[in-house]
Amino acid sequence: MPKTQSNGCSPKEAIISVCESIANEEQRAKEVLQAIKQVSNEETQKALLQIAGRLSTQQVRNRLRALLRDKKLAIQAARAIGEWKNTEPMEDLLEFLKTAKNDGEKLVALQSLAAINMRPSSRAHAKTIALLAEASKYVPPKRSREKNTLLAAMALLPDRTAKPTIEKIGGAAFKSLLPTYLKENAKALQGVVKVNGPTNVGADKALILGEGARLSGGIITNWSGADSSLKWEVAISKAGRYKVIVEQGSEAKKPGSYRLMVADLNVEITPKNTGSKSTFEEVNVGTCKFPEAGNYSIWIQPIKMPDDGAWLMDLKSLKLQPK
């Protein structure tokens, strides 16, 4: 672990400051994990675990898996997984939930499951719904709030398996809330784009998360917010490999970057300067593999905004082409 300098801050603040100052995520993860081993102060460990969770690297996941079996740090490790950038550790939380030794551990696992549920996922929605349904079996008695949270999470996943699962788990105990959940799920399903061969997925089908971008004339434009992401829902009729193409325009001379995530594709892209934000070109960003037919999400999240004050890019469509 790098040495800290005395600048009037507490040891906890100094350790965290040094760890957060490391630019490379893999190196930062290494230093954070090393610091967790070395410090004994519980508050400092808790803060470092939260940083580790937000880094969301494989080495962090491996370490948190081990800590889920640690009597002292299990709950903090489960909380840290709730900071994860995507849904990949859901199985880890489910296993922890199944073997939890008390209601406190169960509740933290359930809270973290709900927290990461709507983040980018490589899974078909049906699989995520099945995971949440399995988790519902371990909700402590008389904890209707946690079961309610799981049902609400399922309702937001646009998949045909959500409705019967919600009805089965909700039962008589949630009879008054079931119409709300089912209405929410029906609304989510309306935005799904069917993919039967080469398919153009328009910008108008995207859900804009955040206030730093808007839809105008069928184009995502004014993309000035690093906290503004896009999400599409697609129904893949046939499993297999698909080329992913972004139709975009940009005039940034010092461009930013974004991350595109769908199925097993997770790639950082620098928008192409097309001479004008209104001049659109198709950019092949990679190939993804859908392991099975079903409904999936496609995400675009900004990583860095352009240094020259330009918008990240204007986006007209995504294209999925079977290979």
Task: Tell me, yes or no, whether 80 and 96 share the same domain.
Answer: yes
Q: Is 168 helix (H, G, I), strand (E, B) or coil?
A: helix
- Are residues 278 and 181 part of one domain? no
Residues 163, 255 within the same domain? no
Give the residue from 151, 169, 188 where a domain finishes: 188
Residue 224 lies inside a defined structural domain of this protein: yes
> Which CATH number covers residue 222?
2.60.120.260
Domain that holds residue 289: 193-322
Q: What is the pLDDT of residue 24?
A: 75
Distance CA 285, CA 288 (A): 10
Angle at 112 between CA 32 and CA 27, to 5 degrees: 20
Residues 178 and 305 in one domain: no
Provide CB contacts within 8 A for 122, sequence distance 6+.
86, 87, 88, 261, 262, 263, 264, 266
If pLDDT is split at 50, 70 and 90, which confidence band does 40 have?
A: confident
Average pLDDT, the chain: 92
Q: Is residue 251 part of a domain?
A: yes
Mean of pLDDT values over 34-60? 89
| Domain annotation covers residue 3 | no
One-letter amino acid for residue 312 of the chain? L
pLDDT at 1: 46
Residue 93 belongs to domain with CATH number: 1.25.10
Maximum C-alpha span of the chain: 62
The yes-or-no verdict on residue 319 having pLDDT over 80 is yes
Q: Is residue 4 part of a domain?
A: no
* Stretch (H or E) spanning 25: helix 25-38
Instruction: Clarify whether residues 110 and 241 are in a common domain.
Output: no
139: in domain? yes
CA distance 264 to 269: 16
Determine, yes or no, domain membership for 2.
no
Number of domains the chain contains = 2
Q: What was the pLDDT predicted at 31?
A: 84
Question: Residue 203: its pLDDT value, please?
Answer: 97
Same domain, 275 and 168: no
Which pLDDT tens digit goes with each residue over 227-282? 999 999 999 999 999 999 999 999 999 999 999 999 999 999 999 999 999 999 99
Q: Are residues 184 and 243 in the same domain?
A: no
Q: Is the domain of 183 the same as that of 61?
A: yes
**Cα angle, residue 285 at apex, residues 129 and 234 outer, rounded to 5°:** 30
Domain match, 247 and 301 both:
yes
pLDDT at 30 over 90: no
Task: Report which residue type is found at 180.
Answer: T
Whether the pLDDT of residue 221 is over 90: the answer is yes
pLDDT digits (tens, 9 = 90+) for 145-196: 999 999 999 999 999 999 999 999 999 989 999 999 999 999 999 999 999 9
Same structural domain, 133 and 210: no
Give pLDDT, residue 12. Answer: 52
The span from the CA of 197 to the CA of 112, in Å, is 37
Both 105 and 174 in one domain: the answer is yes
Mean pLDDT of 14-23: 64
Q: What is the pTM of this model?
A: 0.90
Do 61 and 175 fall into the same domain?
yes
Residue 221, beta-bridge partner list: 214
Cα 79 from chain centre: 16
Q: Look at residues 128, 160, 188 and tell me which one is the last residue of a structural domain.
A: 188
Asked if 238 and 232 count as a contact pair (C-beta separation under 8 A), the reply is: no
DSSP lists the bridge partners of residue 240 as 290
Q: What is the pLDDT of residue 39?
A: 84
